[in-house]
Amino acid sequence: MLSSHRTPVGDLDAVATGRLTAASVARIASAERSRRLLMFRAIAAAEPEAAADDSPLPPVAEAFDVLAQAERFCPEAVLAVLSHPPVGVWTVSALRHLQDGGTAGHQPPSWHLLGYAHALAGAAALRSGLPGVLRVPATAGTVTLPTVGHAVFPDGPAGCDVALLHVTGRETATLSLGDQRLLIRPGDERPRARTSRAVWLPPRRLAWSTGTGTGTAPDLLLEDTDPYRDFRSPHAARAPLPDDEADRWRDLFRDAADVLLRRHPHAARMVSLMLRAVVPLPAMPRFRTASASYSEAVGSALISLPHDGVDLAVTLVHEARHSALNGLDHQVRLVEPPEPGQREALFYAPWRMDARPLWGILHGAYAFTGVAEFWRTERAALRGPAAGLAHFEYAVLRDALTEVLTALPTRHGITEWGRRFVRHLVEQTAPWRHDVVPDEPSSLARTELADLRATWRMRHLTARPPACARLAERWLDGAAAEEAAAPRSVMRDTPLFHWPEPRGELRRVRLAEGPSALRAAPPPAARPLSYDRDPALLAVDRLLVSGEAADARHAYGTLLAEDPDRPAAWVGLGLALEAAGQGPASRALLRRPEVVRAVALAVRARTGSAPDPEGLSRWLGRVPGLCASGDHG
């Protein structure tokens, strides 16, 4: 069942340029299959030492044998099962559990966790037509056969149990749980009830409306039942989607497919070739769609219910690129891992508020190159406020990518193949610098990037306390700033915050709905949500983004005079001062905000009262070298 693999240089180039071929994707899929089989074998080998002896299921090795037999019947059936993204999540979860010694009291119990192997074997037997009787796990009266469907036995036991799957042919099987029996037909897309109230439910699918140029694109699974669909919390108990929400997903995907196929053929091809499953997550507020991928779940995308079809289309492009790069990384090393005992270097990424390792920077640069390319096209296709918003998204990402891609090839740890990969991204994005973006979205994009960088520094960097204390003394003594020394900043052990700033959402609201939408008093449920934002601070943010910079400047200053330990207010004041042309003060606040805050707190510690925010910022802005420092930036 295992194969040797060779990756042509052309596959690396195809992934890097976003121009995948069916052959390159087939090689990625084949390597993923072998990778999962190796992990499967490791699980089977480790099970006898760690698993409980009283398991009601056969050993994992027997499930492996069933897969081998099914492959002789129908190799495509086994490949489809092993390529199911949750299989990768399960293998990691199972191996970790076995390496921990099969921890007693584990939920679900060890035998049930390992029993997923038998569910995979059952699915392969059904898809291939391998006849036989298999024991498969059941949870609270539900039996899931990955990629095939799931059965619900309302009168089944509440906990973990075992069901019998009797495969009689490629299209027919009987599933029994206790005294309840159910006839299932894997190829039937309609729910089919049999004895009692038990029901067989086929997988939900998202169908492409037309082909992608080389035939009809395969459906995506709307994966809402597999116990390992969410890599963040494997085997978490979460109910399948209600029917009306599943219908909403189908409508949104139809709209997204239409956008991709009409205006983004290369992206549509990548999505159709790389993604196998969409795992639905609960809806998020507008402009805050959540999505995620996992290196061991190539082909899967976790996505919150999107706002509209364009929102879903761009998210699919983003996650398809992550999957492609994850698959390539399992074959070609683009970034060297840190040496044993060496602390991994972390960097700023304009699209994230956490500090990212080099591999994360490369991943983000690749995924957001595809997103920027999407918005570059959309801004010409859309009209009105939607076009302005597309211009903004494009301008933010274009300038962010220019910054990141300039530094990436020189970072320690990137390999020769990694530099080749990055060269393709640089070549693709180089012509973008000549693109014209209208004034308002261009200005807001520059402000957004300044806000993101300053906020990241405030959260992740801390200025050396002794140096800041000396600056506070000089400020209080009335000494000249030109004779002071700029402190260095270092990474914090623990960041100050986690959530993004609401100002980014407010800029998008301004473009989508106009400045008046920000000036009006928002109703309690209005978007954007403020996380745990101080209402007084959020009100000032709304003033700033709506264009009332002078009023925002005064209001930020008042808040900071009351309490200088408001990191977001310092950055907001910097943006307001920049709008007012206050060069030295705004530069200090936007380039070294962590220093301004630290000195202000040192002043308060010595005097019992906060310093004048603008006066301190203006003084620090004249400290030689302070605003030119590029440490950790």
Structural domain boundaries in the chain: 9-149, 220-436, 446-620
**Nearest alpha carbon to residue 497 among 332, 598, 354:** 354
Could you report the per-residue pLDDT of 463-488, keeping only the tens digit for each? 999 999 999 999 999 999 999 999 99
Burial track 120-139 (b if 16+ CB lie within 10 A, e otherwise)? bbbbbbbbbbbeeebbbbbb
pLDDT of the residue at 193 = 42
Task: Find how far residue 47's CA is from the centre of its chain.
Answer: 33
Q: How many CB atoms lie within 10 A of CB 250?
A: 15
pLDDT of the residue at 309 = 96
pLDDT band at residue 169 under the 50/70/90 scheme = confident
Contact 319, 301 (CB under 8 A): yes
* pLDDT above 90: residue 628: no
Could you report the per-residue pLDDT of 559-587, keeping only the tens digit for each? 999 999 999 999 999 999 999 999 999 99
pLDDT band at residue 53 under the 50/70/90 scheme = low
Which of 79-88, 201-210, 307-316, 327-336 shows the lowest per-residue confidence on average (mean pLDDT)? Answer: 201-210
DSSP state of 208: -
**DSSP string for residues in 278-347:** EEEE----TT---EE--TTSTTEEEEEPPSSHHHHHHHHHHHHHHHHHHHHHTTS--BPPPPTTPPPPEE
Q: Give the β-pairing of 142-145 and 149-152.
A: antiparallel
Mean pLDDT of 182-210: 72
pLDDT band at residue 629 under the 50/70/90 scheme = low
* pLDDT above 50: residue 165: yes
Contact 425, 16 (CB under 8 A): yes
Mean pLDDT of 195-199: 72
* Neighbouring-strand partners of residue 489: 463
CA distance 173 to 184: 6
Which of 35-39, 182-186, 429-433 shows the lowest per-residue confidence on average (mean pLDDT)? Answer: 182-186
* pLDDT above 50: residue 530: no
Residues whose CB is less than 8 angstroms from the CB of residue 201 and which lie 6 or more positions away in sequence, other chains included: 149, 150, 151, 152, 191, 225, 240
pLDDT of the residue at 104 = 47
pLDDT of the residue at 51 = 56
Mean pLDDT of 65-79: 93
pLDDT of the residue at 191 = 47
In this structure, what token pair is assigned to residue 478?
Answer: 């009335």
Q: How many CB atoms lie within 10 A of CB 618?
A: 20
**DSSP string for residues in 99-118:** HTT--TT-SS-HHHHHTHHH
For residues 166 and 338, the model is more confident at: 166
Which strands make up the sheet holding 220-222, listed edge to edge?
204-206, 220-222, 277-281, 300-304, 291-292
Mean pLDDT of 621-630: 85
**Nearest alpha carbon to residue 504 among 447, 459, 552:** 447
Q: What percent of the chain has pLDDT over 90?
A: 77
Contact 422, 405 (CB under 8 A): yes
Return the beta strands (E) in 132-284 as ranges. 132-139, 142-145, 149-152, 160-167, 173-177, 180-184, 192-193, 199-201, 204-206, 220-222, 277-281
* pLDDT above 60: residue 250: yes
Residues whose CB is less than 8 angstroms from the CB of residue 479 and which lie 6 or more positions away in sequence, other chains included: none
* pLDDT above 50: residue 536: yes
User: How many degrees, rounded to 5, is the angle at CA 417 between CA 414 and CA 419?
Assistant: 55
Mean pLDDT of 341-359: 91
pLDDT of the residue at 3 = 66
pLDDT of the residue at 595 = 97
Q: What is the mean pLDDT of the chain?
A: 90
- In this prediction the pTM is 0.93
Mean pLDDT of 438-447: 98
Q: What percent of the chain has pLDDT over 70?
A: 91
pLDDT of the residue at 633 = 45
Return the beta strands (E) in 417-484 as ranges. 461-463
**Nearest alpha carbon to residue 588 among 626, 549, 554, 553:** 626
* pLDDT above 80: residue 200: yes
